[in-house]
Amino acid sequence: MNLPAPASLIPLRILAIAIFCLFCKLPATAESIPVANSSVMTGTIVIPGINFPANGMPGFVESVTIPLKRYGRLFLIEAKVDDEDGNFIFDSGSSQFVLNSTYFRKYMKIEGDEGGGVTGSAGPVSRTRVKKLMVSGLEYDNIMADVLDLGHIENRRNVKVLGLFGLSLIKDLEIVIDISHNQLRLYRIDKAGNRLNRYEIIAKADVTQKVQEYHNLCLVDVTIGGKVLNFCLDTAAESDVLSSTSPKKVMNTVTILRRSGLVGVGHAGADVLLAQLNDVVIGEHKIPEMQAIITNLDALAASYGIAIDGLLGYDFLEKGEVCINFVKKELRINFRKEDKK
């Protein structure tokens, strides 16, 4: 995956995510799967910008498990921003930590750029400073956040959303996304990217391949129809996505299933195609039964500042356990038994 030099990139101070609602596929009322309110603390993680509360466990420990609450195909994390408690969408496709302007109107803001997503403009984005963010025992002090109106997501999902929790907050750790157990597991690592707990047995991955970190985003090489494409791993995407401008060799492998509707992070909507991708390879592993929506990703690419050929979202994540290690620039996947082909 060849990326342009940092000096030539468009600075990412704006929101760039994709949140999808396939009207004919998802129920009108989202199903909530309850999880425990408390996190499982197996250690204190110490990374730049994060402190462990004084009333927590003493000493250094090496991992934290954050429960994920599943709302339809979205994953929510309970957190507290200053005096406000609530849910954040776990969104690896957001380049920044994001607050919902509905609940943070009184914060002093710096006006920023226009946000963008797969359906076009996401509205004006401002910047503000948060004194304290607490999530499952982790404490962040004096961090910057984007501020954006997310009210339409709350209305559609009938759930209070304080904002978006992206990889920028945890990128210095090894990240394990395990949606079969509704967990986000974080591991403290050394400068070489190895977990500090050397006694823990780590299962051999079905797929190990290189990834790139680009402005707090995880970019993955995905091969379709023999063409190597640039995909973004996006935990807030309720479906995988393929760009409608993909090469003809790629589109020839696609089976169109039906037309559907798409709602992005802005209030705009669009008609899209739901398709079966028949020749998807990650690493050397062929991904069976890979469904995706096909739509134009130009607005998202403009917001990211780099060309994006697609998104790996819920349909990909449900196939197994995904581990991201930005120090090693590595993605590891352990597939479910039925997907080990």
Report the candidate in 335, 331, 334 with the shortest Cα–Cα distance to residue 209.
331
Together in a domain, 93 and 25: yes
- Range with lowest mean pLDDT among 15-19, 120-124, 301-305: 15-19
- Look at residue 184 in the predicted model and tell me its pLDDT: 96
* SS3 state at 168: helix
pLDDT for position 52: 45
Same domain? 140 vs 76: yes
**Exposed/middle/buried for residue 115 (C-beta within 10 Å: 0-12, 13-18, 19+):** buried
Domain final residue, candidates 122, 157, 187: 187
Instruction: Work out the average pLDDT over 278-286.
Output: 92
Choose between 96 and 270: higher pLDDT.
96
Residues 101 and 226 in one domain: no
Q: Which residue has the higher pLDDT, 214 or 27?
A: 214
Phi, psi of 167 (to 5 degrees): -70, -15
> Where in the sequence is the domain holding 117, given as residue range(s)?
21-187
Confidence of residue 10 (pLDDT cuts 50, 70, 90): very low
- Contact in structure between 173 and 101 (CB atoms under 8 Å): no
Are residues 165 and 222 part of one domain?
no
210-226 tens-digit pLDDT? 999 999 999 999 999 99
More reliable by pLDDT, 63 or 200:
63
- In this structure, is residue 63 part of a structural domain? yes
Band the pLDDT of 110: cuts 50, 70, 90.
Answer: confident
Q: Do 57 and 26 lie in a common domain? A: yes
Confidence of residue 199 (pLDDT cuts 50, 70, 90): confident
The answer to the question of residue 200 being in a domain is no
Residue 3 lies in a domain: no
pLDDT at residue 286 is higher than 50? yes
Domain end (from 159, 187, 215) = 187
| pLDDT higher at 260 or 236 | 236
Between CA 61 and CA 40 the distance in angstroms is 12
Domain boundary among 130, 154, 187: 187
Tokens, residue 68: 């994920």
Backbone angles phi, psi at 7, to 5 degrees: -65, -25
Structural domains of the chain, count: 2
Residues 235 and 284 in one domain: yes
Measured between alpha carbons, how far is 215 from 268 in angstroms, rounded to an integer? Answer: 25
Within a domain: residue 16? no
| 302: confidence class by pLDDT, cuts 50, 70, 90 | confident
Mean pLDDT over 231-240 rounds to 94
φ and ψ of 159, to 5 deg = -145, 140
> Poorest-confidence range of 44-58, 79-93, 257-271, 288-302?
44-58
Question: What CATH number does the domain containing 226 carry?
Answer: 2.40.70.10
Say whether both 131 and 90 belong to one domain.
yes
Report yes or no on 136 lying in a domain: yes
Q: Is residue 221 in a domain?
A: yes
**Given pLDDT bands bounded at 50, 70 and 90, which one contains residue 240?**
very high
Q: State whether 162 and 262 are in the same domain.
A: no
- Please report the pLDDT score of residue 198 as a whole number: 74
| 119 part of a folded domain | yes
Q: Is it the case that residue 43 has pLDDT exceeding 50?
A: no
| Per-residue model confidence (pLDDT) at position 126 | 87
228 and 182 inside one domain: no
Structure confidence at residue 113 as a pLDDT band (50, 70, 90): low
Q: Classify residue 108 by burial, with Cβ atoms within 10 Å: 0-12, 13-18, 19+.
A: exposed
Q: Is residue 276 part of a domain?
A: yes
Most confident of the ranges 57-61, 113-117, 136-140, 320-324: 320-324
In whole angstroms, what is the distance from residue 307 CA to residue 95 CA? 15
- Whether residues 43 and 143 fall in one domain: yes
Cβ count near 158 (within 10 Å): 11
The angle at the Cα of 76, spanning 28 to 338, to the nearest 5 degrees, equals: 80
pTM above 0.75, yes or no: yes
| Same-domain pairing of 51 and 151 | yes
> pLDDT averaged over the chain?
79
Say if residue 42 is in the same domain as residue 143: yes
